[in-house]
Structure 1
Amino acid sequence: MKRKELSSVEREALLTTLATQLVREEISSGQVLRQLRRDVLGMSQTQYADLVGISRRTLSDLEAGKASPTVALLNQVFRPLGLQVGLLPRNRELRERLLLVESSTG
């Protein structure tokens, strides 16, 4: 079965949904990486690992949450997806307030 190409609006909506889930700690950065690699780029682990210059095993470990990556490595693997690592408050309530402020201004 051939994968359906996502439109730019669909890609943006998926990215927004995943980023919100990540901030709310509903999913991990590895789960975000896996879903974007598959659904946005339509690449296998081997293809994506080659693209970002890491081993397939390292990518697999990142996606499964079995790695303790550096900020540099996270930036390296998220760069092709147009993402970078950033700082968020550790306090969940403050993160939720930031999401509410962003959604009311956006």
Structure 2
Amino acid sequence: MKRKDLSSIEREALLMELLTRLLREEISSGQVLRQLRRDVLGMSQTQYAELVGISRRSLSDLEADKASPTLALLNQVLRPLGLQTGLVPRNRGLRERLLTVDKSST
């Protein structure tokens, strides 16, 4: 897939949309990784796997939510996207409140 020439504002908007959908459990973390890799970086799985120092198969498993990676591996894979792993409430209501608080502060 050819890289889309997104402006920094468009990249940030896409990231915020994907993270919001992730917190609402509308998409998986693997789907977020795949979409950012393709739509923001315009890279194939092979290219991105080489960039982050893992096998293409490992990246494929992460994107398909079939892997049980360590936090170190997740941070290694997310680093080029400007992301890191963090703590998120398991309770859906708390996550929704976080999203609401975030929107009201912007």
TM-score (norm 2): 0.96
Q: CA deviation at 1:43?
A: 0.3
Alpha-carbon distance in structure 2 between the residues aligned to 1:2 and 1:44: 9
SS in 2 for 1:5: coil
Higher RCO, 1 vs 2 (CA within 8 Å, ≥6 residues apart) = 2
- Where structure 2 has 5 or more consecutive residues not aligned to the other structure, the ranges are none
- Where structure 1 has 5 or more consecutive residues not aligned to the other structure, the ranges are none
Compute the RMSD of aligned alpha carbons: 1.1
Q: CA deviation at 1:71?
A: 1.0
Matched, 1:21 2:21: yes
Q: CA deviation at 1:4?
A: 2.8
Alpha-carbon distance in structure 1 between the residues aligned to 2:61 and 2:48: 13
Matched, 1:56 2:56: yes
TM-score (norm 1): 0.96
Alpha-carbon distance in structure 2 between the residues aligned to 1:86 and 1:61: 20
Matched, 1:86 2:86: yes
Query: 1:26–1:56: structure 2 CA closer, same or farther, 3 Å change rule?
Result: same
The residue aligned with 1:8 is 8
Alpha-carbon distance in structure 1 between the residues aligned to 2:41 and 2:82: 12
Aligned length: 106
- Between the aligned residues of both structures, percent identity stands at 81
Q: CA deviation at 1:85?
A: 0.4
After the TM superposition, list the runs of 4 or more consecutive aligned residues in structure 1 that deviate by more than 4 angstroms: none
Alpha-carbon distance in structure 2 between the residues aligned to 1:32 and 1:2: 18
Alpha-carbon distance in structure 1 between the residues aligned to 2:73 and 2:90: 21
